[in-house]
Amino acid sequence: MASRKKTQELLKGLYNAVVFYDEKAAAELSKVALEESIDAYTAITDGLAAGMKKVGELYAAQEYFVPELLLCSDALYAGLGVLRPHIKVKQAKVKAQIVIGVVEGDIHDIGKNLVKVMFDAAGWIVHDLGKDVKLEKFVEEQQRTNSEIVGLSTLMTTSMLAIPKVIKMIRSQSTNVGIMVGGAPLTRDIAKRYGADGYAENAGTAVQEGVRLVEMLKKRKAQK
């Protein structure tokens, strides 16, 4: 069992590995953490995920841009790959589930991938459908996983036309689901007009919006 000081050092090391996008260090320190019997869940939440939260702040402050975010996410996943199999089942408190994907007709997925990282880091279960996703696939996956949230991404003005259509399709099958959208041509106003419950301007604000929607669903359920 690692001493308190050693534990803090390792957690800080994991945090720094993500913030300073050191993929190798993230994997190695994760192994050391396990060797030192540091709880895998703690290593993720207080080390890797805390680092990713800081990365989100740096992105919002325009100190980090997409290249840094991509490398930070590589470091995050390098650590998660080592630590995740060692999480004790009862610890793995799932915050919520999200089905995420880029809508049909659009192959631009950098934004969606970054949003996925943020949800992963925040402890959500992410069902990533990828890019150029058939609209019915969103409906099927939400039904299959009973996910609280569906996240729809688009970069192109033409593929954004699929957004209102898929929102209607999802709602026709499930009333208790929050739908959030994001991507360059969308605005909060357009998102609302298209029938979405939420909108995230960038990856940095996506989790916050997801949490808001989960709270909204809970309230809605309580009122029934």
Phi, psi at 133, each rounded to 5°: -90, 125
Interacting residue with other proteins among 28, 36, 39, 68 (CB under 8 A)? 68
Residue 137: other Cβ atoms inside 10 A: 16
- Alpha carbons within 13 angstroms on the beta-carbon side of residue 38 total 28
Measured from the CB of residue 71, what is the shortest distance to other proteins in angstroms? 6
Q: How far apart are CA 80 and CA 41, in angstroms?
A: 10
Query: Within 161-180, which residues bind other proteins (CB under 8 A)?
Result: 161-162
Residue 206 belongs to what H/E stretch?
helix 203-223
Cα angle, residue 98 at apex, residues 137 and 87 outer, rounded to 5°: 125
Of the candidate spans 36-44, 85-93, 116-124, 185-193, the one that interacts with other proteins by CB under 8 A turns out to be 185-193
Maximum alpha-carbon separation in the chain: 57
Distance from C-alpha of 1 to C-alpha of 182, rounded to nearest angstrom = 44
User: In terms of CB distance, is 36 or 74 closer to other proteins?
Assistant: 74
Residue 91 is a binding residue for other proteins (CB under 8 A):
no
Mask: binding to other proteins, 46-65, rule CB under 8 A, as x and -?
----------------x-xx
Among 52, 103, 149, 170, indicate the residue that binds other proteins (CB under 8 A): 103
Which of 37, 146, 176, 187 forms a contact with other proteins (CB under 8 A)? 187
Residue type, 125: I
Q: How far is the CB of 120 from other proteins (least distance, A)?
A: 17
Determine the interface stretch with other proteins among 28-36, 156-164, 168-176, 214-222 (rule: CB under 8 A). 156-164
Phi/psi of residue 99, nearest 5 degrees: -95, 130
Applying the rule CB under 8 A, the residues between 108 and 137 that interact with other proteins are 110, 113
